[in-house]
């Protein structure tokens, strides 16, 4: 069964396998916190303290793994930001950042992960989410639209055309 889980010690081996596989195919970028730190211990320390982040230059966020409870495998991760009152987030970063390991793409995991994240976003007090993706990433914008994302407009993100969506959490 697929669930979202906050990173913890029992994810060590699965995390290391996922990140190694990811990096063997591409330079990973999203969610950025998934690749924070030089090793699992530093990564875990960063993500466990982040939801209570008190640095005004940083936005508090929760990172969750998309995990399979039956085989202890991780497929990707999603980061839910508590607000977007930050120059990088208000236009292109949004409330959500997510990524699926390259070997697991095109299997609807992003759609499922985003669906599982909506109740988590509601728990932290969000009722409306800005979710963005590169225009060329058809799989991502289909995942967003499948979860109620309403297209707002295009913009530019790092020189590439990007799409902005809003999702109302009911």
**DSSP sequence for 22-45:** HHTTS---SSGGGG-SSSHHHHHH
Average per-residue pLDDT in the chain?
93
Which CATH number belongs to the domain containing residue 23 in this structure?
A: 3.40.630.30
Q: What is the pLDDT of residue 98?
A: 96
Q: What is the pLDDT of residue 158?
A: 86
Other residues' Cβ atoms within 10 Å of the Cβ of residue 7 = 23
* Total of domains in the chain: 1
Is residue 1 over pLDDT 80? yes
Parent domain of 131:
2-168
Note the pLDDT of residue 52. 66
Per-residue model confidence as pLDDT tens digits over 95-151: 999 999 999 999 999 999 999 999 999 999 999 999 999 999 999 999 999 999 999
Decide if pLDDT at 54 tops 70.
no
Position 27 confidence tier, pLDDT thresholds 50, 70, 90: confident
pLDDT band at 49 (very low <50, low <70, confident <90, very high): confident
Q: Is the pLDDT of residue 87 over 90?
A: no
Token pair of 94, please? 């949004």
Find tokens 């990973």 and name the residue.
28
Beta strand spans in 56-147 (E):
61-68, 73-81, 96-100, 128-134
> Whole-prediction pTM value?
0.94
Which pLDDT score, from 0 to 100, does residue 53 have?
60
């Amino acid at each position: 069964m697929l669930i979202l889980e906050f990173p913890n010690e029992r994810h060590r081996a699965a995390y290391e396998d996922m990140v190694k596989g990811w990096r063997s195919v591409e330079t990973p970028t999203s969610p950025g916190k998934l690749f924070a730190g030089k090793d699992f211990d530093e990564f875990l320390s960063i993500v466990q303290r982040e939801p209570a982040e008190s640095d005004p230059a940083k936005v508090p966020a929760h990172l969750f793994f998309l995990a399979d409870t039956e085989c202890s495998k991780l497929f990707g991760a999603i980061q839910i930001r508590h607000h977007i009152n930050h120059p990088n987030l208000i236009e292109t970063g949004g409330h959500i950042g997510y990524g699926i390991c390259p070997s697991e793409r095109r299997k609807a995991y992003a759609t499922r992960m985003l669906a599982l994240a909506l109740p988590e976003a509601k728990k932290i007090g969000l009722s409306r989410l800005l979710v963005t993706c590169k225009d060329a990433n058809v799989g991502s914008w289909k995942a967003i639209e499948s979860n109620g994302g309403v297209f707002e407009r295009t913009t530019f993100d790092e020189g590439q055309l990007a799409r902005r969506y809003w999702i109302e959490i009911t």
